[in-house]
Amino acid sequence: MEHIITTQNLSFEYHAEEQTRHLVLKDINLQFEKGQFIGIIGHNGSGKSTLAKHFNALLLPTEGKVHVKGMDTQDTNHLWDIRQTAGLVFQNPDNQIVATIVEEDVAFGPENLGIPPDEIRERVEYALKAVGMWEYKDYPPHMLSGGQKQRVAIAGIIAMKPECIILDEPTAMLDPIGRKEVISTIKKLNKEDGITVILITHFMEEVVDADRVIVMDNGKVVLDGTPKEVFKEVALLKKIGLSVPQVTELAYQLKREGFDVPLDILTVEEMVEFLCR
């Protein structure tokens, strides 16, 4: 398997004041495989957003290395290639839309890359159709709902033809409908267009059908595996202040009451299947 992003002994600290040093990331070693859907979870301050910013060279490691498609993020010659390869979508859709019209905003990235106008037009159409926002191409962004704005922001990244999209809590500010829209868009991009997705979130339900889930706490990776492997560790997850998917919680409670229920049940369908057996 080809690795799209790798980190070697990545540590990051920042200086809030003269003396105090905050070690935000501690010795992180991760390899992300191409084409996978990866979820990163952790509560506030666990360092997950800081980690995301290392993936496209917005932050550089204090120690260790980050490679994107073999390019060292510390090498400034590759800065724009790295940012084009690994696109970053942020939490607040309002603060990442630049232009006053949807299609012009989607064109912003390709324009920065110096792509010829005709090709930009094609890419904008492709990107807006991929997120299901083509019919809104002439709208001003402030007329759209939160979920629609976030999809436009994702289209803005897609138009740069990235191989990997990192989404830093893209649904945190959205209502349940908007959240659903965004998550199904991301899943579609991963399955149909083969784009590697790294989804940072604190909604466990969003990562139950990911290929891999990474749990972070206090700047370290504490769990790393398939969703079933990770969510089995109910006690550990609870200890670090995370919840598990509702159905897993139910299985956990049943088991504690003495029923013989496996803990790797993540969805309602699986639970129904198990109970009816």
Partner 1 sequence: MFRNITIGQYIPGDSVVHKLDPRIKIIITFIFIVAIFFINKLSGYIFAVLYLYLVIAISKTPFSYILKGLRPVIIILLLTVSLNMFFTPGGTVLYTLGPLKVTTSGLRLAVFMGLRLIFLIIGTSLLTLTTSPISLTDGIEHILKPFSRIGVPAHELAMMMTIALRFIPTLIEETEKIMKAQMARGADFESGNIVKRAKGLVPLLVPLFISAFRRADELAVAMESRCYRGGQNRTRMKQLKIQPRDYEALAVTLIMVLLIVWNRVWTW
Residues that bind partner 1 (CB under 8 A): 56, 58, 80, 83-84, 87-88, 90, 92, 94-101, 103-104, 107-117, 120-121, 124, 140-142, 156-157, 160
Q: Which residues pair with 37 in a beta bridge?
A: 197
Residue placing its CB nearer to partner 1 in the complex, 134 or 228? 134
Residue placing its CB nearer to partner 1 in the complex, 158 or 222? 158
Helices 146-158, 102-112: axis angle to 10 degrees equals 30
Residue placing its CB nearer to partner 1 in the complex, 112 or 253? 112
Phi–psi pair at 249, nearest 5 degrees? -60, -45
CB of 130 to partner 1, least distance (A): 17
What percentage of the chain's residues is helix, strand, coil (to nearest 5)?
A: 40, 25, 35
Q: What angle do CA 52, 147, 134 make, to 5 degrees?
A: 105
Structure tokens at 102: 């949807």
CB of 56 to partner 1, least distance (A): 6
Residue placing its CB nearer to partner 1 in the complex, 25 or 160? 160
Residue placing its CB nearer to partner 1 in the complex, 63 or 119? 119
Residue placing its CB nearer to partner 1 in the complex, 37 or 90? 90
Q: Can you say how many angstroms the Cα of residue 52 is from the centroid of all Cα atoms in its chain?
A: 8
Whole-angstrom Cα distance, residue 68 to residue 73? 7
CA 149 → CA 97, 156, 192, 207, 263, distances in Å? 8, 11, 22, 22, 37
